Chain A
Amino acid sequence: MDGKIIVVTSGKGGVGKTTATASIGAALALEGKKVAVVDMDIGLRNLDVVMGLENRIVFNIVDAVKGRCKLKQAAIKDRRIDNLFLIPASQSDNKNVLDPEEMVRFSSMLRRHFDYVFMDCPAGIERGFENSVAAADEALVICTPEVAAVRDADRVIGLLYARSITPKLVVNRIVPALVERGDMLSHVDMVDVLSVELIGLVEMDDQVVVSTNTGVPLVMQKTSKAGAAFRRIAMRLNGQVDLPIQVPEASGGLFKKFRSKFGLKK
């Protein structure tokens, strides 16, 4: 196997990197690919709780990289989704226990065992970021339509380009009603400002909270709009590059739009 390493990053914290990693990883596993999601936030792990696998951790990435256990022992198999594995972060170390060189070596082993490996990058652009991007073939930049997130995304995009990685943008937590009213940056604005390729638009979705509360993967909840958006991103990553990007729309349909055009509705 000659798998792909994809780093999921954003610069700013709290924009949905972990949710995106878990969801896109799960979606690709549901497509039949062998997927590992790796929590690179050493010292502050949380991909495990988001995926509902927190009770099954024995070994972690630091153990695996340092050779204290086998890769198989550190990779926790998801019981609901075949082919989905989590390599958890260590909670007691700090980010400097790993270095980019070790990650490059470890990643070549990951490539042999998995079709796709997603690195859930910590916030910031320090060692944790360096480690996460060290062996990356591709990058997903997650960004919400807010000035702070866009600015940080721009910084991260610059750093990725400096490493000859061309990132793709996921706009997360879009509130269509706010966009229509002109009170939220649209994805067009964001692409314009960041000059980067778009790979998916994910709208704000209460189901994300439900999913993290329960640890049930978002992409398994049939009614979740965000889950569906992440599934489409996964399919695009998996070669369906022509799959059109759906722009989230405010519910209410044509009549409401008509009324809002004529000022009958705020």
Chain B
Amino acid sequence: MIANFFKNIFGKKNESKNVAKQRLKFALIYDHLEVTEDILEALHKDMVEVISKYFEIDQEAFKLDIRRSDELSALVVNTPILSAKRKRKQAQPDPT
């Protein structure tokens, strides 16, 4: 009874719903990070395209991964650069 008294007054640590909520939050974060092959492929294609605007890259060796650890998930891109592309001059609008 006394233990209960203190538990109710001071802390809600032992409430099982808090455990449930915490577990759910993590599970949903994980679920939301799951990416389908299609999306990964599309992203792969787009990134190669964008990077190719600025660098000459080895498209075959381009790698795209999602790495997960307990704390965080990261998108890891790895590509060898063959050379930098010379920046094209922007066409100046004609002053009229």
Q: Are A151 and B4 in contact (CB under 8 A)?
A: no
Whole-angstrom distance from the CB of A263 to the nearest CB of chain B? 3
Q: Are A182 and B16 in contact (CB under 8 A)?
A: yes
B residues 40-73 touching A (CB-CB < 8 Å)? none
Q: Are B5 and A189 in contact (CB under 8 A)?
A: no
Question: For the complex, is A154 an interface residue (Cβ under 8 Å from B)?
Answer: yes
Contacting residues, chain A, for B2 (C-beta < 8 A): 263
Interface of A is mostly: helix
17 contacts between A and B (CB under 8 A): A146-B20, A151-B24, A151-B27, A151-B31, A155-B31, A179-B17, A181-B15, A182-B15, A184-B17, A185-B21, A189-B17, A189-B20, A193-B25, A193-B28, A262-B9, A263-B8, A264-B5
Q: Are A150 and B24 in contact (CB under 8 A)?
A: yes
Known: A154-B31, A182-B17, A189-B17. A262 touches B8 (CB 8 A): yes
The number of residues on chain B lying at the interface, defined by a beta carbon within 8 Å of a beta carbon of chain A, is 24
Question: For the complex, is B79 an interface residue (Cβ under 8 Å from A)?
Answer: no
Question: For the complex, is A240 an interface residue (Cβ under 8 Å from B)?
Answer: no
Partner of B16, one of A158, A183, A192: A183
Question: For the complex, is B85 an interface residue (Cβ under 8 Å from A)?
Answer: no
B interface list, Cβ under 8 A from A: 1-9, 12, 14-18, 20-21, 23-25, 27-28, 31-32
A residues 164-220 touching B (CB-CB < 8 Å)? 179, 181-186, 189, 192-193
Contacting residues, chain A, for B9 (C-beta < 8 A): 261-263
Question: For the complex, is A222 an interface residue (Cβ under 8 Å from B)?
Answer: no
Contacting residues, chain B, for A182 (C-beta < 8 A): 12, 14-18
Q: Are A193 and B24 in contact (CB under 8 A)?
A: yes
Counting chain A residues whose Cβ lies within 8 A of the other chain, the interface size class is 20 to 34
Contacting residues, chain B, for A264 (C-beta < 8 A): 1, 5
Q: Are A183 and B7 in contact (CB under 8 A)?
A: no
Question: For the complex, is A238 an interface residue (Cβ under 8 Å from B)?
Answer: no
Q: Are A263 and B15 in contact (CB under 8 A)?
A: no
Q: Are A263 and B21 in contact (CB under 8 A)?
A: no
Question: For the complex, is A80 an interface residue (Cβ under 8 Å from B)?
Answer: no
4 closest cross-chain pairs (CB), A and B: A182-B15, A263-B5, A263-B4, A183-B16
Question: For the complex, is A79 an interface residue (Cβ under 8 Å from B)?
Answer: no
